[in-house]
Amino acid sequence: MKMSGNTVLITGGASGIGLSLAIEFRELGNTVLIAGRSKEKLMKAEALGFKTYSVDMTDATSIVTLAKTAIGDFPALNGVIQNAGIMKSENLLTGGNSAIQDETIATNLLGPMRLTEALLPHFLKQKSAAVFTVTSGLAFVPLNLNPTYCATKAGLHSYTESLRYQLRNTAVAVIEIAPPYVQTELTGSHQSVDPHAMPLKEYVAETMGILKSGEPLKEVLVKRVLPLRFAGDGGREKYEAFFLQFNDAMTANRAGKV
């Protein structure tokens, strides 16, 4: 996909990584449409000059309405960045997680699948189009503290690969963006100032550099995410050691022990 002259819809585009990508894509000469849930955030995006749409990614009807309305308003629509997501903690020992599990699967996994389904007939009629999915380094090494989140991201990675294969003879590109831990408010305001997280500006600059490289891309991976993305490459034993070390460190950190 060329990097200018497109019309791109970004879900969850009124904050964090989505909003930063929206600004960058617009600067490159693309028309950018932002879809999101919170009215307050959407109003802020409108104040920045973006056309916005209200959507609840957990609701199949709302997603179909979004796709129809955006295509009606912008018949040149040829890109979507499936970025909306939630990340919540679950204690599987105490139970009581089913509401979180339903919401997480609906938002992070079913939502992008449903929106792809709704947009694809239109994308297939375009000269070129692209579906971007936003997964996570945690799609490749799960963090036990957020089990359903990691399962949805692994699921979205898997779905993305199948989608890319099925679309291999069309003009629709399928690109997975897998961020590392980044300073946004995904898990709360503390994350946006966590020194262990990658600064949002740096993350988006490196991501845009990769996207603008002109290389045919399957995955957009900044350097910081490579250890997670390729943790499985050294074989079973190395993966298990990495998984344990990562989860022990993160669990101790969450418990305030280090």
Token pair in block for residue 58: 């957990």
- Residue 126 or 136 with smaller CB distance to ligand NAP: 136
Collapse the DSSP code of 134 into the 3-class scheme (helix H, G, I; strand E, B; otherwise coil) and give the result.
Answer: strand
C-alpha triplet 41, 42, 43: angle, nearest 5°? 90
The 77-96 contact track toward ligand NAP, x by CB under 6 A, reads ------xxxxx---------
* Minimal distance, residue 125 CB to ligand NAP, in Å: 26
Q: Does 107 bind ligand NAP (CB under 6 A)?
A: yes
Q: Does 41 bind ligand NAP (CB under 6 A)?
A: yes
Given 149, 159, 181, 203, the catalytic residue: 149
Gap between the Cα atoms of 28 and 130, Å rounded: 16
Near ligand NAP in 176-205, by CB under 6 A: 179, 181-182, 184-186, 197
- Residue 126 or 150 with smaller CB distance to ligand NAP: 150
Gap between the Cα atoms of 123 and 1, Å rounded: 12
Gap between the Cα atoms of 117 and 72, Å rounded: 17
Gap between the Cα atoms of 70 and 121, Å rounded: 14
Q: Are 109 and 159 in contact (CB under 8 A)?
A: yes
**Is 149 an annotated catalytic residue?**
yes
By the criterion CB under 6 A, which residues form the site for ligand NAP? 12, 14-18, 36-38, 41, 55-58, 83-87, 107, 134, 136, 179, 181-182, 184-186, 197
Name the residues annotated as catalytic. 149
